[in-house]
Amino acid sequence: MDIKTVGFIGLGVMGEAMCRNLAKKGSWQVVGFDTQPGPLERLAGDGVSKAATLSDFVARSNVILMCLPGGKEVEAVASNLLGLVRKDQTVVDMSTAPPKLMRELAPRFAAKGVDFADAPVARTRRAAIDGTLSIMVGSSAEVFTRLRPILSTMGTEVTHCGGVGAGQVVKLMNNMVVFETTMAIAEAISIAEASGVDGKLLFETMSKGSADSFVLRNHGMKHLVPQDYPEQAFSVRYAVKDLSYARELAQQSGVHARGADLLAQMFEESIARGDGERYTPVIRRLMTKTR
């Protein structure tokens, strides 16, 4: 397949940075589409052209990448794309969405002669800016080979996880483990400090042993120790969405995910106390008597 133009829908916090790397590092033309004009205005300086309409966007693209807030948005945009796509195009969902939805969309696109893949991303906004994301792909081997050069402009780790939907399964399990680890280290620092041990010392010591993890060194040292829970980061509300997909998958698989169920309750409590827009380590506030 001769890929001349890659289209990118959804230029939010992660998508704008991803699209910029796609344009700066790739050999193809890049066209963007978003409901907000700001990202497209900024990306114009990087060579990203703006599509006037969704129809124009689809007509100009060989490969279409979507990076949207969640499953509902993916389903809505995909439904519109289905009426516009043509044979031999490829549609890739880089959002975080239910695996079941991916497996429902794939045959609908196939009926139009269009390949479909899921390729959700992990790591931080900084990684999106630097082009060092981890990208988990669910597709046929042939489609993965076609997409890998494109995805490699945005991520340093591009992994073929299996057929359509497998990328989302791996991404949801990644996020579930991150959330549950955040809960564990938030409990640890709360107990340690209440028992007279310095939280920074606790995490520095844990990082030298078997309790070390990315979450400990980043969520823990950078946010739980100083109790810094900014907005405009991966908020509790976003975490609720991703965790709900993981719990839904567990239920479909016949697995009783008790840790995820408990964490979902904590997230809802955090939202109820007004912390829904803050970075997920803010759940530490639920763990002490003086909140």
Residue numbers of the domain that contains 114: 5-163
Q: Does residue 217 share a domain with residue 74? A: no
Q: What is the mean pLDDT of residues 131-160?
A: 98
Q: Does residue 93 share a domain with residue 78? A: yes
Q: Does residue 151 share a domain with residue 13? A: yes
Is the pLDDT at 289 greater than 70? The verdict is no
Question: Does residue 17 lie in a domain region?
Answer: yes
Q: Which residues does 134 contact at the CB level (< 8 Å), separation at least 6?
A: 121, 122, 123, 127, 155, 156, 157, 159
Q: Which residues does 271 contact at the CB level (< 8 Å), separation at least 6?
A: 236, 237, 240
Q: Taking the CA of residue 158 as centre, how many other CA atoms within 13 Å lie in the half-sphere pointing to its CB?
A: 18
Per-residue confidence (pLDDT) for residue 220, from 0 to 100: 98
Which conformational region is residue 161 in: left (phi greater than 0), alpha (psi within -120 to 50 degrees), or beta? alpha
Is the pLDDT at 20 greater than 70? The verdict is yes
Q: How many domains does the chain divide into?
A: 2
**Which residue is catalytic, options 24, 100, 171, 208?**
171
Q: How far apart are the first and last CA of the chain?
A: 57
Question: Does residue 65 lie in a domain region?
Answer: yes
Q: Does residue 201 share a domain with residue 138? A: no
Q: Does residue 204 share a domain with residue 142? A: no
* Domain boundary pick from 163, 195, 218: 163
Q: CA-CA distance, 63 to 7, in Å (whole number)?
A: 6
Q: Does residue 235 share a domain with residue 127? A: no
Per-residue confidence (pLDDT) for residue 269, from 0 to 100: 97
Residue bearing the bigger pLDDT, 288 or 141: 141
Q: Does residue 173 share a domain with residue 159? A: no
Q: Does residue 190 share a domain with residue 73? A: no
CATH number of the CATH domain containing 135: 3.40.50.720
Q: Does residue 151 share a domain with residue 19? A: yes
pLDDT, tens digit, for every residue of 193-228? 999 999 999 999 999 999 999 999 999 999 999 999
In the numeric block, the tokens 């991404």 are attached to: 171
Is the pLDDT at 286 greater than 90? The verdict is yes
Q: Which of 244, 246, 260, 177 is nearest to 216 (CA)?
A: 177
Q: What is the mean pLDDT of residues 234-247?
A: 97
- The residues that bridge with 279 in the sheet, in sequence order, are 235
Question: Does residue 291 lie in a domain region?
Answer: no
Q: What is the mean pLDDT of residues 36-64?
A: 97
Q: What is the mean pLDDT of the chain?
A: 96
Is the pLDDT at 118 greater than 60? The verdict is yes
Is the pLDDT at 156 greater than 70? The verdict is yes
Per-residue confidence (pLDDT) for residue 69, from 0 to 100: 95
Per-residue confidence (pLDDT) for residue 82, from 0 to 100: 98
Per-residue confidence (pLDDT) for residue 2, from 0 to 100: 83
Kindly report the pTM of this predicted structure: 0.95
Q: What is the mean pLDDT of residues 269-279?
A: 97
Helices marked H in the chain: 15-25, 37-43, 54-60, 71-82, 99-110, 125-130, 141-151, 166-194, 199-206, 214-215, 236-253, 258-272
Q: CA-CA distance, 229 to 235, in Å (whole number)?
A: 9
CATH number of the CATH domain containing 268: 1.10.1040.10
Three-state secondary structure string covering 139-179: CCHHHHHHHHHHHCCCEEEEEEEECCCHHHHHHHHHHHHHH
Active site residue 171: yes
Q: CB-based burial of residue 201 (10 Å sphere; 0-12 exposed, 13-18 middle, 19+ buried)?
A: exposed
Q: Does residue 151 share a domain with residue 37? A: yes
Q: Does residue 159 share a domain with residue 174? A: no
Q: Does residue 90 share a domain with residue 214? A: no
Is the pLDDT at 290 greater than 80? The verdict is no
Percent of the chain with pLDDT over 90: 96
Is the pLDDT at 1 greater than 70? The verdict is no
Per-residue confidence (pLDDT) for residue 182, from 0 to 100: 98
* Domain boundary pick from 107, 141, 163: 163
Question: Does residue 136 lie in a domain region?
Answer: yes
* Domain boundary pick from 163, 185, 219: 163
